[in-house]
Structure 1
């Protein structure tokens, strides 16, 4: 399963992409290597141009902005590797000592919080571009849904069969959990990144209680 820095993984992926011209290939490979070394924010287009052996104006003519340059690497990467990444995350989380849906949520949240902290710049750029770029949103949202939704539904059905969840349609539970968890990550890492987690375990616990109070199977006593 993929772990660690997305930028480092993108370096390897970009070097295997033979669909661009030689000049585009050099720009993309140079950009992603410098992003990986210095971070996205600390990298200038002039540095990328120098490393790629092209004029800085060439980058602007072909990609428009530094964000668009990064998206030219991110989108193919997501389409090629996201299915395996999603499968790896769910397999890793479910391989732990998971006895309840609450355990699953706790393990999943901890897993993704670590990942988003390590790749905050990339996550921020993708989310912000999807908020304002209609075409990108149309392209990527269905792709995310088709790779995450069936895996989450499978997990929900497992715990419904065990009697751990209320008799609510699986699709509705999936939608509520997906909306809440996705909204939390976007709010915390993109819209309000300056807010610290404080006590991370306590915050995760509060989130889980918020979700479970709506879906827990309230057995009669």
Structure 2
């Protein structure tokens, strides 16, 4: 599922979920289906209400806003799916016979870039909520640490043992990498999303070289 639409996966999940009332279940199923068909920005709460056979006020009463409606579905899905998604991403990358940390980093960046492009509207909503909602950060951070940070530490340690990376704590190296790559995704898809198209390949290479020039073991081969 690494490069597929999250909304497509959500459609399947909402059909088997029984954690809500029948009316809420119908609202969620309808909303996710229309989001997937028309895009989040092009879907109105009135349209969701009409197709779900409920009053628009019912949606506001249960969820407050369209953003909250999506978050009520996507956040449990993220927590439940993160282990499988993380394993799938790393396995997909490592199956490409990665020979260096730079190749690993390039494959990871391209993989996640495509994933975010496929799920841009969801990414924008989750990031905005994550930045301003401390409770949400506290809720999701352990899942991120357990399923993604741990795997990154393992990769860093492997390439440190090969002599490719500087002798800094794995946590410090991982934090620098996530800061640069995460900052790039946020700036491109949230802060400056309306800028003209740029040379994506050039951007990727610039980021890779920026990171590698800071963490590469300069004494290697001397």
**Greater Cα shift, 155-164 or 139-148:** 139-148
Query: Number of residues paired by the alignment?
Result: 221
1:155 is paired with a residue of what secondary structure? helix
| Residue deviations 1:17-64 (CA, integer Å, cap 9, x gap) | 111011110010010001111110111111111111111000000000
Structure 1: gaps (5+ residues): none
> Take 1:87 and 1:186, find their aligned partners in 2: how far apart are those partners?
23
Normalised to the residue count of structure 1, the TM-score between the two structures is 0.96
Shift of 1:133: 2.1
Provide, for residues 109-144 of structure 1, a one-character-per-residue CA deviation record: whole Å limited to 9, x for no partner: 111111111110000000011122222222112322
Superposed structure 1 runs of 4+ greater than 6 Å apart: none
Q: Which one is further off, 129-138 or 29-38?
A: 129-138
* Partners of 1:216 and 1:84 in 2: CA distance: 30
Match of 1:158?
158
1:109-128 to structure 2, matched below 5 A, reads 109-128=109-128
1:149: which partner in 2? 149
Separation (CA, whole Å) in 1 of partners of 2:117 and 2:37: 17
Q: Is the 8 A contact 2:3 2:111 kept in 1?
A: no
Which region of structure 1 is more displaced relative to structure 2, 191-200 or 29-38? 191-200
Deviation string 1:147-202 (CA, Å, 9 cap, x unpaired) is 11101011111111111111111111111111111111111111111234522222
8 Å CA contact 1:11, 1:32 repeated in 2:
yes
Q: Whole-Å Cα distance in 1 between the matches of residues 98 and 213 of structure 2?
A: 19
Q: Secondary structure at the match of 1:193?
A: coil
Normalising by structure 2, report the TM-score.
0.95
**Runs of at least 5 residues in structure 2 that lack an aligned partner in the other structure:** none
In the alignment, is residue 135 of structure 1 matched against residue 135 of structure 2? yes
Task: Tell whether the 8 Å contact from 1:163 to 1:217 is kept in structure 2 after alignment.
Answer: yes
Backbone CA RMSD of aligned residues: 1.3
